[in-house]
């Protein structure tokens, strides 16, 4: 049955092809197609623009450097200050150590989880970089 349908379709196609004229493309068909391809290639769909441009980064860096130079040049030594009277060591030793007393297993697991998190970040960064540049 299938072979019979195939023969009928083949006869139909042969009859249609006899009536049609073979069309030739124009001489500059390839040049026209390639010009359209090159135009489509040159159009940028997405142009990356950083949130903070380089001049702004340079300005921020310059402000920080200027601030540090200003503070270094205009520093004044104080002989007596209210900050000197504060004693944070007793507060630290009395309260902070008793609040944050972790076992070695907890510390090792947090360190290991952090290590694996950094490894995962590296793999994801590589994956998205490859996906973006395809």
pTM here is 0.30
CA distance 120 to 126: 10
Structure-block tokens of residue 129: 């970089």
Q: Which residue shows structure tokens 């340079």?
A: 58
Structure-block tokens of residue 26: 């124009």
Quick one: pLDDT at residue 86?
Answer: 67
Over the stretch 64-84, which tens digit does the pLDDT of each residue have? Answer: 999 888 877 876 655 566 666
CA distance 18 to 29: 25
């Amino acid at each position: 049955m299938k072979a019979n349908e195939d023969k009928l379709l083949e006869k139909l196609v042969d009859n249609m092809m006899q009536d049609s004229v073979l069309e030739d493309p124009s001489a500059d068909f390839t040049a026209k197609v390639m010009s359209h391809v090159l135009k489509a290639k040159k159009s940028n769909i997405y142009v990356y623009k950083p949130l903070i441009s380089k001049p702004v980064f340079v300005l921020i860096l310059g402000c920080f450097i200027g601030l540090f130079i200003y503070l270094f040049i205009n520093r004044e030594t104080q002989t007596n200050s209210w900050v000197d009277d504060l004693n944070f060591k007793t507060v630290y030793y009395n309260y902070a150590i008793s609040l944050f007393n972790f076992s070695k297993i907890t510390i090792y697991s947090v360190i290991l989880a952090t290590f694996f998190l950094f490894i995962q970040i590296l793999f994801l960064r590589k994956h998205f970089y490859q996906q973006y540049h395809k």
